[in-house]
Amino acid sequence: MTEPILEVENLTIQFRVKGKVIGHGGSRRKWKRVLNGVTFSIKEGETFGIVGETGSGKTTLARTLVGIYRPKESYVKLYGRRIDYTKKEDLLLLRKTIGIVFQDPVGSLNPRVTVSDIISEGIIAKGKMSDEQRKEKIVEAANLVELPASKLDSYPPELSGGEKQRVSLARTLIGGKKILVLDEPTSSLDVSIQAQILNLLTRLKRELSISYIFITHDLNVIKYMTDRVAVLYYGEILEQGSTEEIFENPRHPYTSDLIEANISFSSSSEFSEEKVSGEPSGEGCIYKNSCSKRFSACEKTPPYFSYGKGAVKCWLYDYMGERKAGIGR
Amino acid sequence: MAIQISSRVPLNSSLLEVRGLSVNFETIDRSVEVLKDVSITIGKEEVVGIVGESGSGKSTLAQAIVGVLDIPPARITKGTILFDGKEIYPQRDNNYNFRGKGINMIFQEPLTSLNPVYSVHDQMEEAVNIGSPTKDKKEKEEIIRKSLNEVMIRDVDTVLSAYPHQLSGGMRQRVSIAMVLVQKPNLLILDEPTTGLDLIIQRKIINLIMNLKREVFSSILLITHDLAVAANMCDRIYVMYAGRTVESGKMADVLHSPLHPYTAMLRNSIPEGYSSSGELKVSSGSPPDLRHLPKGCAFNTRCPKAMDICKEKVPELKVRDGSREVACWLYD
């Protein structure tokens, strides 16, 4: 439980774009930085949440972790081993260990392949297995995600949204993955189905002791599901820490803006109308254009100030002394 | 010769009254009942919510009220709709034009309700012509700018000359609210107005609507799948399941002591605490397929309290404690 199984250090991803980039200071750069210095680590059996709004880079992060985007320099360590995205065996290890469930179950399941064939895609080294063994494994995986065996011969369009997400999960679990990246797994589902899937994920985590990287914009879900949270804003983690700490004592102005804006049964009617939402800043603190607590120091990029159970990237916490380029543990 | 019936006097102070509305969707091989005997009333200056999951018929109801239902495949088989005491369905009194200044609607995806080939300015102008047709050009210009300011758009000139695709989702939704605002409707129907928007923008739009309501609109009908959003906006709600109203009442009453098991399940589906707060109390099963509804109460296959009678007969919507209605055999 002590050693982190996945470490991400200073992950930076940039995409090449044509012409002017709007939204990153507006300068004429040819590269748009989608992730900037993202650092975190995950232990076995832990659920790590990533909250972010549109354009924060959450999906890019998810895709990089499973090797869909392959940065030239490596920033990812798995079981202490640095993953070189250009090496085949490293990529194989990555894919064996980390699975992904996408937001859109329609787009991630081939409509012309039966459910049992989709699930069997997840078995690595399929050739070494007899047909019966394979069949057995598929039924086992379907049971695990509470998918009725009668659905195994159906095609994805015949399934409901919740069942499709269960198929996606079964496909990932059958290969014995240790880390699941869940990219908005419940956003497209009805609320009662979302609750079923959240219950299922909680149960699977307990039974299989797997780790989740749970990516969503829904604060109620993040609060309920995760042990630790990182708040992502235009490619930068502004704050991370234990879930309770973040929700009870949000330190970064952006985090408190988010929590204040969140709608739940107990949400307060207090929400300042004057709150500006400016473009992310290209210089200094990235949130300074929208920040209500902006002061002179914000013209310079803040480092992370750690506070025991977490770290925050904001000059307001300069007094806490300890500065780090990345986020320590 | 048209018969004069517009002299009908409203019986009470309700602004909109839908009585026993039934809608079928008809295809070549079958007919599916999407709304079954739905009655709702909206009082003056009241915010009423309609909450339900997919397939509950909530959007069909809104479309039927505004009169934008696609007929065919839809067919209204039964029911009357009264607005401000005048009948707007099935017979429209004196060709009474209730849209625009009477009832106005904001859709979930503003891109589909804004015209992509006209600039924001031109579309706003059209709306102003409906709201205040007598004013001269200069005054109209002023109204446009004022309403964009009111929806917290700072860079008015840029937005006015932009086309819808050049704006962000939150900005588009604000423009469509501004367009409705200049028409000063008596009833505003919001169909999932904030779904798909970012958290901070969502909260801003909700606050904006509630503030404008105090100034301009007299009533709001909110259609949403999110009980938490409804809880923050509505005075009264109707909970719908498989095309029927299963429960209605004052928001606070329904939220704190839900009568129908389905309402309770919706309430429990939204996580509130940390992971230590235990499992979410939902039953298995998914929202109903309207083509294959179970016999009896449509919720009986998912209901934790289902009894024998639930599988036989559909419970009627009955009044309880004056202001509440529930359709469940538990309370018979």
Please check whether residue A194 is in contact with residue B269, taking contact to mean a CB–CB distance below 8 angstroms.
yes
pLDDT in tens, A29-49: 577 788 888 999 999 889 999
Q: Is the dihedral of CA B251, B255, B258, B263 positive or negative?
A: positive
pLDDT at B263: 92
> In chain A, whose CA is at the least distance from the CA of B150?
A273
Distance separating alpha carbons of residues A291 and B312, to the nearest angstrom: 59
B319: closest CA of chain A, how far (Å): 26
Record the tokens describing residue B204, joined without a space: 């801003």
Categorize the per-residue pLDDT at A112 as very low, low, confident or very high, splitting at 50, 70 and 90. very high
CB of B257 within 8 Å of a chain A CB? The answer is no
Q: What is the mean pLDDT of chain A?
A: 84
Distance separating alpha carbons of residues B179 and B125, to the nearest angstrom: 9
pLDDT in tens, B245-294: 999 999 988 888 899 999 999 888 888 888 887 888 888 878 888 888 88
Record the tokens describing residue A284, joined without a space: 């200094």
What residues of chain A, 43 to 102, have a C-beta less than 8 Å from chain B? 47, 53-54
Q: How many CA atoms lie within 13 A of B271 on its CB side?
A: 26
The alpha carbon of B230 is separated from its chain's Cα centroid by a whole number of angstroms, namely: 11
- Whether B321 has a pLDDT exceeding 60, the answer reads yes
Lowest-confidence range among A60-74, B6-20, B21-35? Answer: B6-20
What residues of chain B, 91 to 150, have a C-beta less than 8 Å from chain A? none
Option in A191, A243, A273 nearest B269 (CB): A191
Instruction: Say whether B246 sits in a helix, a strand or coil.
Output: strand
Pairing of strands A323-324, A304-306: antiparallel
pLDDT in tens, A262-277: 888 876 666 665 566 6
Pairing of strands B219-224, B236-241: unpaired
Q: What is the mean pLDDT of chain B?
A: 84
Going from the C-alpha of B186 to that of each of B46, B99, B102, B179, the distances in angstroms are: 11, 10, 5, 14
Instruction: Say whether A276 sits in a helix, a strand or coil.
Output: coil
Mean pLDDT of B48-58: 89
What's the per-residue H, E or C state across A121-175?
Answer: CCCCCHHHCCHHHHHHHHHHHHHHCCCCHHHCCCCHHHCCHHHHHHHHHHHHHCC
pLDDT in tens, B122-158: 988 888 887 777 778 888 888 888 888 877 777 888 8
Please check whether residue B246 is in contact with residue B36, taking contact to mean a CB–CB distance below 8 angstroms.
no
Categorize the per-residue pLDDT at A113 as very low, low, confident or very high, splitting at 50, 70 and 90. very high
Phi then psi for residue A21, to 5 deg, are: -95, 120
| Sheet strands (E) in chain B | 14-26, 31-43, 47-51, 74-83, 86-89, 103-106, 187-191, 219-224, 236-241, 244-250, 318-320, 324-326
Evaluate if pTM is beyond 0.90.
no
The percent of residues in chain A predicted with pLDDT above 70, rounded, is: 88
Mean pLDDT of B11-27: 82
Residues 6+ apart with CB under 8 A from A272: A292
Option in A192, A196, A267 nearest B266 (CB): A192
- Whether B11 has a pLDDT exceeding 50, the answer reads no
pLDDT at B89: 79
What's the ipTM? 0.81
